[in-house]
Structure 1
Amino acid sequence: MYVEANPVTHVTVTPVAFPDAPLLNAAGVHQPWALRTIVQVHCGDELVGLGETYGDAPHLALVQRAAAALSGVDPFDLAGVRRRVAEAIGAVDAPDRHGLTGGSTPAKTLLRVYAPFEVACLDLQGHIAGRPVCDILGGRVRDAVPFSAYLFYKWAGHPGGEPDEYGEALDPDGIVAQARALVDRYGFTSIKLKGGVFAPEEEVEAIRALRAAFPDHPLRLDPNCAWTVETSLRVAEETEGLLEYLEDPTATIPGMAAVAAKATMPLATNMCVVNFADVPEAVALGAVGVVLADHHYWGGLRASALMAGICDTWGIGVSMHSNSHLGISLAAMTHLGAALPNLTYAADTHTPWQLGADVLHTPLSFVDGAVPVPEGPGLGVRIDPDKLARMSEDYARIDIRERDDTTYMRSVQPDFPTRRPRW
């Protein structure tokens, strides 16, 4: 039976802010507030599709411009949605300031702007058809999607603020304590450490401490290209037998290939293979063994599934990258992960660091380190209008309009270096 769909009547774009922990990385430190943008695509009087994306002001402006161009489009016509987004924003490049997701181009900017609308339309398609998004993507291959414990070196609290519930983690003991807290609370069965903060030998000691404390948990280390090829090779040798994979130890596809040629563990990336144009060179040089999909900048869920299929062809593993996000993104990641036959590694998530902040009426839960696929049609989640309003008020009240880890770090450490590689 043919399913008749009402056209999009209007799109609501709401910037929001929520408290963020002082998480350290190669670019600096997270600011006290994280920014996101919530997209609601209205179809008829009652149907609403949900999407979520970055909240930085330049990106928000493009999302708002695209939203104004979508009235009258069929939510099943994703090609038409993409054309309208492209026409609305033009050939513009709006790179992120923190630089932890690879280089930026106008093509990648278009994909970043299009992605939340694609997710929202898939949500609408699911509601109209009475099926979950994972079915729209081809059907589920798993009922729950595994995620990893995402560890960060961090301060106890933001300067001048109270310590948060996770406390300080600036040495191996602090990292192990943080891992125990996350594993005990959420049941994670794999662990990732965000590196690039301290000298490599200190971060290797943290990995050794984690291996001693968690002998059965796969471990990962991600320094966000903070090392030279030579340093990366040394760390790979020192962590032989300890790591499930080493993520973005050094910059560029040729640099990664030089490390991959001698490292015994796979190299993973969300920084050098960030769009389809990067794949041929990466495959030809044998640069990566794992690609971390991120539907927020790959162009949505269908593009991420296509990328996963290409990886399967070349024997490359697949996981999912994460940034500070709310429950709509987690739901989208879960539906994507449920539909990917070759999701070979547990995905990343920042959800534990949001300390319960969410725009969803009923936030998703972790069971033994995995998120069960939400019940019901579409994404299976709905917004709590009061929570959304409060987070929108917080956005209006604060003075942060772009994520800028480096400038915030320099307010505490004026001589903080920006160069990468640093070691």
Structure 2
Amino acid sequence: MDTALLIDDVRLTPVLISDPPLLNTQGVHQPYTPRLIVEVVTRGGVTGVGETYGDGAYLAPARPLAEALPGHPVTDVNGLFTLAERVCGGSPTPEGDPQGVDAGGLRGVRTADKLRLSVVSAVEVACLDALGKTLGLPVHALLGGKVRDTVDYSAYLFYRWAEHPAGGEKDDWGAALDPAGIVAQARRFVAGHGFRSFKLKGGVFEPDQEIAAVRALAEAFPGRPLRLDPNGAWSVETSLYVARQLGGVLEYLEDPASGTDRMAEVAAGTDVPLATNMCVTTFPEIAGAFARGAVQVVLSDHHYWGGLHRTRELAAVCRAFGVGLSMHSNTHLGISLAAMTHVAATVPNLDYACDSHYPWQTEDVITARHVFRDGRLAVSDAPGLGVELDRERLAALHRRWLDDDGTLRERDDAAAMRQADPEWVTPAVPRW
């Protein structure tokens, strides 16, 4: 083994990044959200970067893994999983979450295994970035080579307030609380980024209000693909009602009901394809969902599945079973978007435009922001991920994390909602 490819040091930098007041079924995004930046430094002096969730539950396993990594080859990404299982230990599912839903990612039950996978994902990406820089190859070449030069992304539409009730950064988007507001938001995304498909985050208002918003989008953008995602907020009966109302309008309906059992019931009663990033987020969850026909589209997420190689494994399974594939997004920075774009470029069966929160994020830790053109990102052929850390900006966002009293270091959409409505509690599902 070339000693230059051995890990010499790992740096973990938690940050707080600004987040707009975007609404979902659990509440509203906080003014700032935590992310974790991972740097892997090789003995050859090359630094690779990765990114994942920054809540305390993720920092806990990240720290012992970082301490155990020196001496590990950056080429041995398969070995990261065994190492993480050995040194990270287990932790119980967090309390205070009666629906078993991770408020940060809305991904279903949060377990110690899922936490480890999300941490390993950032380390794997950092290792691939370092390896690519060392060899002079882009990450997509390390994954087998790209099959497309650009990756399609979808406009991610949200009901939102004009500003946070308790401070935070301000923007000029204004409120979007009705169909007209959603259509105006979509027009701005088209004008600024050229998006050609649209996803609306639902589960915020009565279903008929959200049906009206989707119909308004269909009228404003005839023929454009549309998706609706209420994050499991509806009953089976409500899900089927919405599917009937929007049959022929939606490209797919994402997680209308919570859990594989309910999704299977909905799927049996409608021809509208059902997508998920909640009931299929690990390999053990695949068999039951696919066998029962509960989902027709899986939204992969390299943070959930353990990195870029395992995302490609998921894609192969979906291809074998004839299940569609897209990619999920949560509040992320440019490192994660670069990683997402590299792996998306290597997957033959990327059937739908990918999600991305990135246009909502005004802050970043890379020197040059990604630019969408015609709703697409060009796939970088530069060594590694093709991004560089802005160390001054990274330090500033880390200082924000250090200065926080702990209130914002854990993403909690319900707590943020209580700033406006002190009586708010996380709604039980089904909400409607």
TM-score range, shorter chain: over 0.9
Q: Is the 8 A contact 1:130 1:377 kept in 2?
A: yes
What's the CA shift for 1:402?
A: 0.1
Matches within 5 A, 1:38-49: 38-49=37-48
Alpha-carbon distance between aligned partners in 2 of 1:393 and 1:206, rounded to the nearest angstrom: 40
Q: Match of 1:407?
A: 415
DSSP 3-state at the match of 1:76: coil
What's the CA shift for 1:128?
A: 2.3
Matches within 5 A, 1:153-302: 153-161=159-167, 164-302=171-309
- Specify the code of the residue in structure 2 equivalent to 1:249: P
Matches within 5 A, 1:310-329: 310-329=317-336
DSSP 3-state at the match of 1:390: helix
Q: Is the 8 A contact 1:8 1:70 kept in 2?
A: yes
What's the CA shift for 1:98?
A: 4.2
Alpha-carbon distance between aligned partners in 2 of 1:329 and 1:263, rounded to the nearest angstrom: 35
Alpha-carbon distance between aligned partners in 1 of 2:340 and 2:397, rounded to the nearest angstrom: 22
Q: Deviations over 1:66-121 (max 9, x none)?
A: 11110111111123322222222112346544461111223222211211111111
What's the CA shift for 1:126?
A: 1.3
- Specify the code of the residue in structure 2 equivalent to 1:202: Q
Alpha-carbon distance between aligned partners in 2 of 1:349 and 1:105, rounded to the nearest angstrom: 24
Alpha-carbon distance between aligned partners in 1 of 2:134 and 2:304, rounded to the nearest angstrom: 26
Alpha-carbon distance between aligned partners in 1 of 2:46 and 2:92, rounded to the nearest angstrom: 32
Q: Is the 8 A contact 1:27 1:99 kept in 2?
A: no
Alpha-carbon distance between aligned partners in 2 of 1:160 and 1:16, rounded to the nearest angstrom: 20
Q: Match of 1:367?
A: 373
Identical-pair percentage: 52
DSSP 3-state at the match of 2:216: helix
- Specify the code of the residue in structure 2 equivalent to 1:14: T
Alpha-carbon distance between aligned partners in 2 of 1:85 and 1:284, rounded to the nearest angstrom: 31
Q: Is the 8 A contact 1:374 1:381 kept in 2?
A: no
What's the CA shift for 1:6?
A: 2.7
Structure 2: gaps (5+ residues): 95-101
Q: Bigger shift: 385-394 or 324-333?
A: 385-394
TM-score normalized by the length of structure 1: 0.96
Q: Match of 1:37?
A: 36
Alpha-carbon distance between aligned partners in 2 of 1:18 and 1:411, rounded to the nearest angstrom: 19
Alpha-carbon distance between aligned partners in 1 of 2:392 and 2:43, rounded to the nearest angstrom: 23
Alpha-carbon distance between aligned partners in 2 of 1:182 and 1:390, rounded to the nearest angstrom: 28
Q: Match of 2:83?
A: 84
TM-score normalized by the length of structure 2: 0.94
Q: Match of 1:53?
A: 52
Q: Is the 8 A contact 1:140 1:339 kept in 2?
A: yes
Q: Bigger shift: 256-265 or 140-149?
A: 256-265
Question: Number of paired residues?
Answer: 421
Q: Does residue 335 of structure 1 match 2:342? A: yes
- Specify the code of the residue in structure 1 equivalent to 2:386: G
Decide which of 87, 98, 105 is 2:111's aligned counterpart: 105
- Specify the code of the residue in structure 2 equivalent to 1:48: T
Decide which of 308, 315, 320 is 1:308's aligned counterpart: 315
What's the CA shift for 1:327?
A: 0.3
- Specify the code of the residue in structure 1 equivalent to 2:46: L
Q: Is the 8 A contact 2:166 2:419 kept in 1?
A: no
Q: Is the 8 A contact 1:93 1:109 kept in 2?
A: no
* Root mean square deviation of aligned Cα: 1.5
Q: Does residue 15 of structure 1 match 2:14? A: yes
- Specify the code of the residue in structure 1 equivalent to 2:385: L
Q: Match of 1:147?
A: 153
- Specify the code of the residue in structure 2 equivalent to 1:360: I
